[in-house]
């Protein structure tokens, strides 16, 4: 009887540990993602970049190609990496054989040593002017996913495409969010693919652009996550205290209008330039520091949007470095958190964030606090291996008790 009672208790304990672990209550903090662009002639080599990411306790990054030097350098690290298929390659990858060859040479040789978790097929394809590119996007995604299936990598690597916020015809208020009518034919095909493969919808969202275009009507504090009265959606009555969350919820509503309400939306790019031309209003060091500091603070708390408050919004900040060879206005070359030599481009308040988080948790360093989300849960990281060991111990005890019974 005692042995049977012991077995029952072990079942209960194991079930409890699995249950709370499944809820995420015992997981260590997930890190804020970072976009690692390389349009520059003065960046450190990939192995040094890896050192920087690890020093910052970052575990998620995205690159804009499938650079073998980066993939090799990131091997046997804890960095989850999203690679990109450049826009000019999409047409050829609609051919399943070409897609299979691409995955076989660009992904398979590096996996699983390099933790490739996603393939971004193109970038902001729908808002360009190349109709051939638009027509090639979903077929290329289908072919790439089919290649992953054939190589048994599909359960590890998701396939999606980053979209500009300009895919929306309307974004205010969020509940009125809808896609441009020009995308009526192609957008449902993309959403169907994402739903069938359990992949997220990626959006590049920059409140900076909205403020720059209309600074007299859009409050700066609202776009910078600073304290402000915010706005209330007149239809849902949801309160928004920042523009980024409002933009994401507008995308969620647009997706739902096409019948795909279950899709997760992730922010594949967001950021703020620290320098700009004279007509680029708001592009200052102070504003860039405020935006990224406040964004990180929100990430520490595992926040969701008002529409999905219990689903953590995954965000990739743009960008890791200032990139001196990017074309366009001055702002394009000044989105980086860091200079190419690894020094901070501006102060995002690392010490202040460290002090604030240490009041409720133990942090290993100010750097880890600065770019790692869910700071209040950092103290749980040390317990994770202990909990798994406990589960294994309980399972062993269960087997022993069964033999005795």
Q: What are phi and psi of 135, to 5 degrees?
A: -65, -25
Out of 80, 124, 280, 303, pick the active-site residue.
124
**Other beta carbons within 10 Å of 119:** 26
- pLDDT at residue number 347: 79
- pLDDT at residue number 159: 98
Residue-wise pLDDT tens digits, 304-362: 999 999 999 999 999 999 999 999 999 999 999 999 988 999 977 543 443 454 454 44
Q: How far apart are CA 295 and CA 225, in angstroms?
A: 7
pTM: 0.81
Count of alpha carbons within 13 Å of 381, Cβ hemisphere only? 18
- The end-to-end CA distance of the chain, in Å, is 8
| Chain-centroid distance, C-alpha 34 | 8
Residue 88 is among the residues annotated as catalytic for this protein? no
Mean pLDDT for each consecutive 10-residue tract of the chain (405 residues)? 42 34 35 90 96 89 98 97 98 98 98 98 96 97 98 98 98 98 97 98 98 97 98 98 98 98 96 98 97 92 95 96 97 96 79 44 34 30 37 42 49
Owner of token pair 């398979």: 108
- pLDDT at residue number 388: 34
Residue 80 is among the residues annotated as catalytic for this protein? no
Full set of structural domains in the chain with CATH: 28-61+160-357 (3.20.20.80)
- pLDDT at residue number 331: 98
- pLDDT at residue number 31: 56
Out of 30, 80, 269, 303, pick the active-site residue.
269
Q: Where are the beta strands (DSSP E) in 229-278?
A: 231-232, 239-240, 265-270
Q: How far apart are CA 65 and CA 72, in angstroms?
A: 14
Pairing of strands 162-164, 201-204: parallel
Residue-wise pLDDT tens digits, 24-59: 332 323 658 999 999 999 999 999 999 999 988 889
Q: Taking CA 286 as the corner, what is the angle to CA 331 and CA 346, rounded to the nearest 5 degrees?
A: 75
């Amino acid at each position: 009887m005692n042995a049977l009672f012991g077995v029952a208790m072990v079942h209960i304990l194991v079930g409890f540990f699995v249950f709370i672990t499944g809820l995420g209550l015992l997981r260590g903090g997930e890190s804020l993602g970072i976009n690692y662009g390389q349009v520059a002639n003065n960046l450190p080599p990939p192995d040094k970049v890896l050192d920087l990411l690890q020093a910052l306790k970052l575990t998620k990054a995205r690159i804009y190609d499938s650079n073998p030097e980066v993939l090799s350098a990131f091997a046997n690290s804890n960095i989850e990496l999203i690679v990109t298929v450049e826009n000019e390659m999409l047409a050829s990858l609609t051919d399943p054989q070409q897609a299979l060859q691409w995955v076989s040479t660009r992904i398979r040789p590096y996996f699983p040593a390099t933790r490739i978790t996603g393939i971004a097929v193109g970038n902001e394809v729908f808002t360009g002017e190349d109709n051939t590119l638009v027509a090639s996007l979903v077929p290329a995604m289908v072919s790439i996913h089919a290649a992953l299936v054939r190589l048994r990598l599909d359960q590890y690597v998701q396939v999606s495409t980053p979209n500009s916020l300009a895919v929306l015809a309307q974004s205010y208020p969020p509940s009125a969010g809808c896609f441009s009518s020009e995308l009526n034919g192609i957008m449902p095909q993309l959403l169907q693919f994402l739903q069938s493969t359990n992949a997220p919808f990626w959006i590049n969202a920059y409140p900076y652009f909205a403020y720059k275009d209309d600074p007299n009507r859009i409050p700066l504090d609202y776009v910078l996550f600073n304290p402000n009265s915010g706005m209330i959606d007149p239809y849902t009555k949801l309160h928004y205290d920042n523009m980024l969350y409002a933009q994401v919820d507008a995308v969620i509503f647009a997706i739902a209008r096409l019948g795909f309400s279950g899709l997760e939306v992730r922010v594949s790019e967001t950021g703020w330039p620290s320098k700009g031309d004279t007509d680029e209003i708001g592009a200052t060091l102070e504003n860039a520091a405020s935006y990224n500091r406040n964004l990180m603070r929100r990430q520490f708390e595992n926040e969701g949007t008002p529409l999905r408050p219990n689903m953590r919004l995954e965000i990739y900040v743009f960008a890791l470095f200032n990139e001196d060879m990017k074309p366009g206005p001055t702002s394009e070359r000044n989105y980086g958190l860091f200079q190419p030599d690894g020094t901070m481009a501006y102060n995002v308040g690392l010490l202040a964030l460290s002090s604030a988080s240490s009041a409720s948790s133990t942090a290993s360093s100010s750097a880890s606090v600065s770019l790692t989300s869910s700071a209040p849960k950092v103290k749980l990281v040390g317990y994770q291996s202990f909990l798994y060991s406990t589960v294994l111990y309980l399972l062993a005890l269960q087997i022993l008790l069964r033999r005795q019974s």
